[in-house]
Each structure stands twice: as structure tokens, then as C-alpha cells.
Amino acid sequence: MSSPAAGGPKFPFGEDELHAYVDGQLSPERRAEIQRWLDQDPEAATRAAFYGRINTAMHRRFDHVLAEPIPREWGPTPVWRRRTRDRRAPSLRHVAIAASWLFAGLIAGWVTHDLLVPPKFVERLAQESTPITQQAAVAYAVFSPEVRHPVEVGADEDHLLRWLSNRMGRPIKAPTLDDAGWHLMGGRLLPVVDDTPGGGHVACQFMYENDKGERITLYMKSVDGSAGPSSFRYADEVEGISVYYWLDTKLAYALAGKLPKDDLKHLAWKVYVQFNS
């Protein structure tokens, strides 16, 4: 295959195939052919790379929506309760719909019991628990297995706390857990979609690691404080993630990890003391 002449129309395949290449919708053979051509055609290669980066950027911008909690009213509520405006007695059609519903539900429940792959972990979390514990557990589940990017800014970078304080709109400090064997790795900012007053749109998370490579995260987000401080609460999230959470007048805290309850409580207490001394 000769090198394409500079300037002229070059890419000898259809434009469609360049897109299909980017979108992973080609056979391996065709993909390899196009790859070989792109190695010699910088113009087409640049475009293909840009198309791919559009896809990546869209994921980075919108993927956080996947983890938002699903409102109850979006679930399969029965037809006769949903239609509050329609107060007439149920027609035969309604009864038939309800019956088919019940049947569909029974079948679906039975079939999905163990035959279907359960919804993804994050999606299950999104349906099951309360906002703070859920958000903390999701953030833990997403970032704690990360090898290369567990944190956004490392503990050794001195702008970590300044940056998080700026974005959170209040002074943020990272509690020390070294004497318990847990070392601060760093932190990150997280988006929050939250309708509670004073909730804000950002949360932050610090991650700690012990010598065995186990990790815990401390998740914090702003609250309006009207509820006042709370005592410790414990939530047993799915997949073995435990969360201790509490409130003071400015922030909600959630400490998450795959640890025995008592160990986590001990650490939560250490964190609590450092914010209240």
C-alpha cells in the first residue's frame, strides 16, 4: 500500500468505516486493515483519534448519572395507584392490565431469581440505600480497587487540602489515622446530585491504606446543619462494604470499608474525635 499523497482525498475506505473503526463495530480483519492504513494517513488517524476522544469525554462528563439513586415513583407501581386522576371503578381493561402485571411480576421475579445476571453492582446500590451511605459506598466501590488512580491528588501534594477546602466552600482537613495503621493516600472531589437543602453539589473523599493494602475511605459532604449533630449510625451496604456515618452542623461524614464492624467503628471514632476537638 503506497503512502497517501499529501493534501488529496486519501482515506480509501468509506467514512462509515472510519466511524465503525472508532466505535468498535468492525470485524477484527477489517479493523486490522484500517489500522494499517491509518498508520500511513495522519489526517484520517487524527480524525479517528478525535472521534474516539469525543466518546471518552462524553463518558467522563455523564457517567456519574449512572450512580444516581432511583426515585421510588419510577418503580413499577400498580396501574390503579398510579392513575390518581382516574377515580372511576376499574374497568375490565384495568383488571386485565393488573392481572397481566401480576403475572409478569411473578414470572419476572421467578426468572430473575437466579437465572438473570443481576443489575450491575452500582445500579443495585443506587436502588437500595440512603443517599450518604450509598454515595459513600459507591465512591468506595469505584475508587478503592484503583491501582493507578485511587486518588486524584496525593497526600504528598500540599495543595490537597487547600483545593478541597476551596471546592467544598469550607475548611477541610484530613484526619490522621497513622497510629491505627492507616495511612492517608490522598483525596478526590466527587459530584453529588442531592436535593437536600444546603447539600451542595460536591463531596470529597480521602482514602487510607494499611500495610496489607486494604483501603478505607472517608466521604464528606456539606449539610445545612438544621438537623443538628447526629450520633453514629451504621449501614451494612452490599458487597461487604460497611459504612459508619454521622453529621455535625456543617458536614456529613461516612467512613466506608470492607472491615469488621467494630474495627470500622473504632476508626470512625478516631475520625470523629479529630473533627470535634
Stretch that binds another protein, among 3-11, 73-81, 85-93, 255-263 (CB under 8 A): 73-81
**Any contact of residue 91 with another protein (CB under 8 A)?**
no
Minimum CB distance to another protein, residue 86 (Å): 12
**Any contact of residue 239 with another protein (CB under 8 A)?**
no
Minimum CB distance to another protein, residue 189 (Å): 4
Q: Are strands 202-209 and 183-191 parallel, antiparallel or unpaired?
A: antiparallel
- Measured from the CB atom, the residue of 16 and 158 that comes closer to another protein is 16
Site pattern 134..153 for another protein (x: CB under 8 A): ---------x--x--x-xx-
Chain-centroid distance of CA 174 in Å reads: 22
Binding another protein (rule: CB under 8 A), the pick from 40, 91, 130, 274 is 130
Handedness of CA 157, 271, 194, 138 (dihedral sign): positive
Distance CA 186, CA 150 (A): 8
Distance CA 44, CA 50 (A): 10
- Measured from the CB atom, the residue of 97 and 176 that comes closer to another protein is 97
**Any contact of residue 248 with another protein (CB under 8 A)?**
no
**Any contact of residue 200 with another protein (CB under 8 A)?**
yes
Minimum CB distance to another protein, residue 16 (Å): 5
Minimum CB distance to another protein, residue 92 (Å): 15
Distance CA 260, CA 236 (A): 10
Stretch that binds another protein, among 59-67, 206-214, 256-264, 268-276 (CB under 8 A): 59-67
Query: What residue has cell string 436502588?
Result: 127
Binding another protein (rule: CB under 8 A), the pick from 46, 166, 249, 274 is 46
Distance CA 153, CA 165 (A): 13
Distance CA 3, CA 37 (A): 9
Q: Which three cell numbers stand for residue 33?
A: 486493515
| Amino acid letter, 60 | R
| Closest to 151 (Cα-Cα) out of 163, 168, 134 | 163
**Any contact of residue 127 with another protein (CB under 8 A)?**
yes
Contact residues for 4 (Cβ-Cβ < 8 A; gap 6+): 10, 11, 40, 41, 43
**Any contact of residue 268 with another protein (CB under 8 A)?**
no
- Measured from the CB atom, the residue of 48 and 141 that comes closer to another protein is 48
Stretch that binds another protein, among 51-59, 176-184, 210-218, 261-269 (CB under 8 A): 51-59
C-alpha distances (whole Å) from 80 to each of 107, 146, 164, 255 are 20, 47, 49, 42
Minimum CB distance to another protein, residue 198 (Å): 13
Stretch that binds another protein, among 2-10, 28-36, 234-242, 264-272 (CB under 8 A): 234-242
3-state SS assignment for residue 77? coil
Binding another protein (rule: CB under 8 A), the pick from 2, 6, 8, 16 is 16
Contact residues for 28 (Cβ-Cβ < 8 A; gap 6+): none
